Structure 1
């Protein structure tokens, strides 16, 4: 014989799965965030490697006046297009067409000033509204290097060592790894994947409480020989199951996408193993249970279906606040962060992605910080359901 809690659980789950629109929304929230993360990172990789793949097209007016400069530009995979003199309006039109990254113009007095050892003006025309900022910086780096080489040659010609102009030589040593660098970015991006835990359980929780009360089916259900904790527990577990399944699939999909993307192209990496991901999914289960418990408790105390939706929609922003504050204040990882639901999950996956040994305590704290409040909220909701005023919505 099945327990009453299991009967209520299966009944609520079956009713939720029958609604195709609800299933469509659940599937959308499950797939949406991992796909967005994949597209954003793929776009970043594509943009950062565009110069290597396609090179840089540079229009040069008066290229014959500086053959050495043209040679250095060619060494940096910059294609020089010798262009006839043109007016400013024509240069602007050429840049807006996005056929070239920039326009380099050498004035008529360039050669004269160069041989007289006076500053020889070089004009760089560009469109700051275009997406060629990286290519333009590479051109500017070549120009700066070209100028430095000329200055060094002139100093040597006058018997002065170029080293005299650099009394301090700074050497930089970066001890950061790809994993630690990517943890800040990718780990923060992955943190948003825990938010759907609060979205996926909302519809079922509201419909099984405020919705049933409006349809007057809750009175019939409470007339059955079942304890209030069995009724509330069945509804809670049904709503939470949707969140657990959705968030687990979401994390697995995001993990597969991050493992497939060539993150090393942008100096990043994703080093989580499937075993570590399963542990993260396991400690995320209480977060889904907490989300379901909050929705059940709030929807129970709402007098109408619309009121329940409005209240929960406002409360949905609360889980974002701790993560936003930590990010805004740029706080370092501390033990107290593992005591705040959802923030603990975000902190945990960020620390794991760094590749170090996290230890067992963060997993345990992440699990308990959501599991304990979830049980307390459901206990309160079960006690609240004993009141006739709740059933009659008075």
Structure 2
């Protein structure tokens, strides 16, 4: 004979599978965040590689005065479009139409100033609201061109160009590609755990506030079953949906990150399937905590609608520690593994760095959410013993 809480679990889980709203939320949030992550990274990679594939389009006014500069720009894969003289309004319209990354205008006295070794002014026009990445490459070419001219003039006067660089700085980056990747996309990865509070929401609210509002809870409580068995069955049914949703979501995100050419933007994703499985196991208590919290809060609501309204605010609370850590730019510390939700975000970020973080972070992440889930379920079982809850007074 099955345990009574398993009977309740099967009943609630079967009803959740029949509920299109529950299944819709499960499918939506399982697919939404990984797909958005993939689209965001794809656009990032596309912008980073587009100048290399298509070149940079530069509109030049008066380029005949600086043939050496034009040749140097062409060597850097910059496509030169000779443009007749334009006013400020016409240049702005050209940039807003995105026909060129920037407009380079050489005034009429550029050649005279250059020949007289006076500062020759060059105007670089761009629109920051529709700015393209190629503008920075153009500035680098202009700076290199100016440096070469200065060095040649110093040599012509018998002065070594090294006199302009009394100190030479050499930079050595000891950060690994995996660590840099985890730091950049760590904030994005943190949102992958938010569906743990969404996938089982509908089932948790419907099995508590919904059943009480429909007066079907009274019939269920009239059966020879204890309150903790009722709560445990409902809790496991809601948590099961969350566990399934967040597990598939993490696997889908892992597949997308492993497939994308992150090396094009100086990143890498070296999380193995074994490590990902450990992260998924450590995330199971987070779903249990989310479902327990939702059932405990929904029991104190007078109606189904009130429960949904309150939970929409309460669900934001677990996200606050992660946002605070991100805004304050705090370094990873042991206490972060003791806070539900934040512990999962920290664990995934540190795992993505590729180093050996040991077993303790996984254990702490698992236990902190498990203890919080137990406390929420214990409160819900105690609350269900009250006649005021059953009668909604």
- 1:387 and 2:386 are equivalent in the alignment: yes
Which segment drifts farther, 373-382 or 280-289?
A: 373-382
Q: In structure 1, what is the Cα distance between the partners aligned to 2:306 and 2:81?
A: 66
Could you say which residue in structure 1 is the equivalent of 2:35?
35
Q: Which residue is equivalent to 1:243?
A: 242
- The answer for the alignment partner of 1:121 in structure 2 is 121
| Unmatched runs of 5 consecutive residues or more in structure 2 | none
Q: 1:3 to 1:126 in 2, by over 3 A?
A: same
Structure 1 unpaired stretches of 5+: none
Q: C-alpha distance in 1, partners of 2:317/2:92?
A: 49
CA distance in 2, matches of 1:89, 1:305: 59
Shift in Å, 1:84: 2.3
Number of the residue aligned with 1:85:
85
Taking a change above 3 Å as real, the CA distance of residues 87 and 381 of structure 1, as seen in their structure-2 partners, is closer
* Counterpart for residue 344 of structure 2: 345
| 1:186, distance to aligned residue in structure 2 (A) | 2.1
Q: Which residue of 2 aligns with 1:173?
A: 172
Partner Cα separation in structure 1 for residue 90 and residue 392 of structure 2: 73
Q: Deviations over 1:297-353 (max 9, x none)?
A: 111121211121111111011011100111111111000000000100000010011
Tell me, what secondary structure is at the counterpart of 2:178?
helix
SS at structure 1 position matched to 2:317? coil
CA distance in 2, matches of 1:385, 1:90: 73
Alpha-carbon distance in structure 1 between the residues aligned to 2:8 and 2:40? 42
Q: Deviations over 1:211-231 (max 9, x none)?
A: 101111101001111111111
1:110 maps onto 2:115 in alignment: no
Does the Cα contact within 8 Å between 2:295 and 2:380 map onto a contact in 1? yes
2:65 match = 65
Q: Report the equivalent of 2:210.
A: 211
Structure 2 Cα separation of the partners of residues 21 and 198 of structure 1: 15
Aligned to 1:325: 324
Equivalent pairs counted in the alignment come to 393
Which position in structure 2 is the counterpart of 1:150?
A: 149
CA distance in 2, matches of 1:140, 1:152: 18
Secondary structure (helix, strand or coil) at the match of 1:49 reads helix
Tell me: CA distance 1:88–1:131, structure 2 relative to 1, closer, same or farther (3 Å): closer
- Map 1:123-272 onto structure 2 (within 5 A): 123-132=123-132, 134-272=133-271
Determine the C-alpha separation between the residues in 2 that align with 1:96 and 1:383: 64
Q: Deviations over 1:230-287 (max 9, x none)?
A: 1110000000000000000000010011111111111111110111111000010000
How far off is 1:34 after superposition? 0.8
Partner Cα separation in structure 2 for residue 152 and residue 244 of structure 1 = 65
Show CA shifts across 1:112-163 (max 9, x none). Answer: 111111111111122222131x211111111111111111111101001111
CA contact (8 A) 2:21 2:202 kept: no
CA distance in 2, matches of 1:142, 1:79: 13
Answer yes or no: is the 8 Å Cα contact 2:101–2:134 preserved in 1.
yes
Distance 1:308 1:92 in 2: 54
Alignment partners' CA distance in 1, 2:373 and 2:274 = 26
CA contact (8 A) 2:22 2:200 kept: no
Give the corresponding residue for 1:54. Answer: 54
SS of aligned partner of 1:319: helix
Q: What is the Cα-based RMSD across aligned positions, in Å?
A: 1.1
| TM-score, with length taken from structure 2 | 0.98
Matched, 1:45 2:11: no
Q: Secondary structure at the match of 2:128?
A: coil
Matched residue SS, 2:57: strand
How much has 1:97 moved relative to structure 2?
A: 1.9
| Residue 86 of structure 1: how far off its partner (Å) | 2.8
Task: Answer yes or no: is 1:288 the counterpart of 2:284.
Answer: no
